[in-house]
Amino acid sequence: MKNVLIIGSTGQIGSEFTMKLRSIIPNGQIVAGYIPAAPVKGELKESGPSEIVDITNAQQIADVVEKYDVDTIYNLAALLSAVAEAKPQLAWHIGIGGLCNVLEVAREKKCAVFTPSSIGSFGPSTPKDKTPQDTIQRPTTMYGVTKVSGELLSDYYFKRFGVDTRSVRFPGLISNVTLPGGGTTDYAVDIYYKAVQDGSFVCPIKAGTYMDMMYMPDALRAMYEIFEADPAKLKHRNSFNIASMSFDPEMIYAAIKRQMPSFTMTYDVDELRQGIAESWPNSLDDSCAREEWGWKPEYDLDTMTTDMLSVLKERYSK
C-alpha cells in the first residue's frame, strides 16, 4: 500500500484516517477524495493531494486511480444510520451503487479495496451477546441492508475476480476530532462534548441499552493493520468483527462522573434511534480478527474517557 485514494475523506472517519495514513506513508500519495458539498479544507487540504471524487461517478474514480497510480481504495462514502432511515433510496444509491463503481474500477485497475461494515449489519434475530463472526444477518434498517449487501458484494469480487477486498465491522466510533453526524451511537460522542461545554447531557438512548463502542484511534489502526496482514492467513475478508468495549448510557455517565463529579445526565429518548439500537448486538466476538491478523484494541472505557476529557478540556478552555 503506497498510493491510496480515500473516498469520503471529509467524513467522520475519512478526515482522521487521511491524516493518519499521510503520517504512516510519507513517501506515498494519499489522495483525499471529496465532493463539492463537503470540500477539503485546512490541514487536510494542505498536507497532500485532493481530488473531486463522487462515488456515484465511476469515471471520476477511474480517472483519479489512473492519475495517481492508486493501488488501494478506501471507500468511506456512506450515510450514517439515522440519516439513512430518513433517506433510504439515497443510502442505497451511495452505499451499493457507489460500491459497485469502486469494485469495478478496482477490478480493471488491479486495486485493493476497503469498505467498512458495521454492527448495523446484524438484526434483532442475531445473537445479542458476543455476536459470532459468522451468524444470521437480517437487519431491519436500510443502513444495515446496505452493509450486508456490501459484505456479500465485496466477497463476490474477491472470489470471482480476485480483487483484494478487506473489511471490518465497526462498532460505534467515538472521536475527539469529529462532531456527531447522525449515527445511532453518536450519543457516546456527544456526551463528552456536553460534559466539558455544559456540565450536563440529555441522553437520547434508554438506560440499559448496551452497544459495542470503540475509540477512534483503535478504529484507524484497524483500517491500516488489516492491509498489513498476510492474505494467506485470512479465512474471512468481508467483514471482520472487531471489538473494544461495550457499555450502556449509565456506564459512560459513571465513567465521566468519576472525573467530573458535578456532571449530570437526564433522558429524553429518541424512539427512532432507540429502535435502531435495540436491533443491534450488545457485544461482538472478535476472536477471528485476533487470530487471523492480530487485532487487539488499546483503549477501554476508562482510558478512553481520560483521553477524551483531557483533549476536549484543553480545546474548549482556549
- For the chain, helix, strand, coil in percent to 5 are 45, 15, 35
Q: Which of 143, 157, 187, 215 is catalytic?
A: 143
- pLDDT of 156 reads 98
Q: Which helix (H) or strand (E) holds 287?
A: helix 287-293
Per-residue pLDDT of the chain (318 residues; tens, 9 = 90+): 899 999 999 988 999 999 999 999 988 899 999 999 999 999 999 999 999 999 999 999 999 999 999 999 999 998 887 788 899 999 999 999 999 999 999 999 999 999 999 999 999 999 999 999 999 999 999 999 999 999 999 999 999 999 999 999 999 899 998 776 667 788 999 999 999 999 999 999 999 999 899 999 999 999 999 999 999 999 999 999 999 999 999 999 999 999 999 999 999 999 988 988 888 888 999 999 999 999 999 999 999 999 999 999 999 876
Q: Tally the domains of the chain.
A: 2
* Nearest in space to 204 (alpha carbons), one of 271, 155, 255, 151: 271
Secondary structure of residue 173 in the 3-state scheme: strand
Q: Which three cell numbers stand for residue 66?
A: 489512473
- pLDDT of 300 reads 96
Say yes or no: 29 and 143 in one domain: yes
Phi-psi region of 66 (alpha: psi -120 to 50; beta: other; left: phi over 0): alpha
Range of the domain at 61: 3-171+215-228+236-241
- pLDDT of 318 reads 63
| Model confidence, pTM | 0.91
- pLDDT of 285 reads 96
Using H for helix, E for strand and C for coil, what is the string for 199-252? CEEEECCCCCCCEEEEEHHHHHHHHHHCCCCCHHHCCCCCCEECCCEEECHHHH
What CATH number is associated with residue 303? 3.90.25
Say yes or no: 54 and 199 in one domain: no
Say yes or no: 36 and 109 in one domain: yes
- Owner of C-alpha cell 495514513: 21
Say yes or no: 145 and 289 in one domain: no
- pLDDT of 257 reads 97
What CATH number is associated with residue 20? 3.40.50.720
Say yes or no: 194 and 49 in one domain: no
Distance CA(202)–CA(81), nearest Å, equals: 20
- pLDDT of 243 reads 95
Say yes or no: 223 and 196 in one domain: no
* Nearest in space to 217 (alpha carbons), one of 75, 5, 17: 17
Query: What is the signed CA dihedral for 107, 148, 145, 249, rounded to 10 degrees?
Result: -130
Say yes or no: 102 and 198 in one domain: no
Q: Return phi, psi of residue 103, to 5°.
A: -65, -35
Distance CA(83)–CA(103), nearest Å, equals: 25
Say yes or no: 276 and 293 in one domain: yes
DSSP state of 179: P
Say yes or no: 53 and 181 in one domain: no
Cα 35 to chain centroid, rounded: 19
The number of residues in the chain equals 318
Q: Which helix (H) or strand (E) holds 187?
A: helix 187-197
Say yes or no: 113 and 178 in one domain: no
Say yes or no: 107 and 7 in one domain: yes
Q: How many CB atoms lie within 10 A of CB 125?
A: 12
| Annotation marks residue 143 as catalytic | yes
DSSP state of 59: H
